Each structure stands twice: as C-alpha cells, then as structure tokens.
Amino acid sequence: MANSIRIRAKAAAGEVSVKALITHPMETGLRKDNKTGEKIPAHFIKEVKCEHNGKVVVNAQWGAAVSKNPYLAFAFTGAKAGDSVKLSWVDNKGESDSAEAKVS
C-alpha cells in the first residue's frame, strides 16, 4: 500500500503536533459482502509507530475496531523545525507502509 500515509508535523511553543491520515480498509472480519453473503476477511492495522530522528515517540497497538482510513493526531516535545518525523504501520496481513515529514 505505497503512499497510504499523508503526514504533517508543525512546531509551536516547544511542542510538535503531528497529524496523519492513513488510507486503509480496516475490515473487522465480521462484515458480509452484499453480493456473495460471505464474510469479508479481517484486514486491519495492528501497529502504528512514529519516530523522531530515529527515536520512537509513539507506538500504538490497534485492532479491528478502528475505522476505515484512520486519522491520527498527537504531540510531543523535544523536536525543532527541520527535524525528521517518520510514521509507519503494519497490518494483520503483513503489509506495511511508512512516510516521513520534516517539522516546519
């Protein structure tokens, strides 16, 4: 799922706010296909990780209850304009993606 993440990071008052939109189907495995009546297999993000200059600042464990195309927002301290922020995810099928942004 290349390019599934849109990320922004902005510094203000000693804090960096990160906002990200992840494109992912986030299927629970409980919903049925309207045409076939068969259950749609589970397909959801298990782990989301954010790194600042290589150091993990957020590590979230997700499950099937998170909505389709999830939005994630958080803040952390210790970064400045020009630093690198990397967001990555791994899903239950082993697929993954990552994206980087410079703090502005």
Of 2, 90, 93, which is closest to residue 41 (Cα–Cα)? 93
Please check whether residue 92 is in contact with residue 5, taking contact to mean a CB–CB distance below 8 angstroms.
Answer: no
Count of domains forming the chain: 1
What is the CATH number for 15? Answer: 2.60.40.10
Q: Is 90 exposed, middle or buried (0-12, 13-18, 19+ CB in 10 A)?
A: middle
Q: Tell me the residue range of the domain where 75 lies.
A: 5-102
pLDDT tens profile 40-95: 999 999 999 999 999 999 999 999 999 999 999 999 999 999 999 999 999 999 99
Cα distance between residue 69 and residue 80, in whole Å = 29
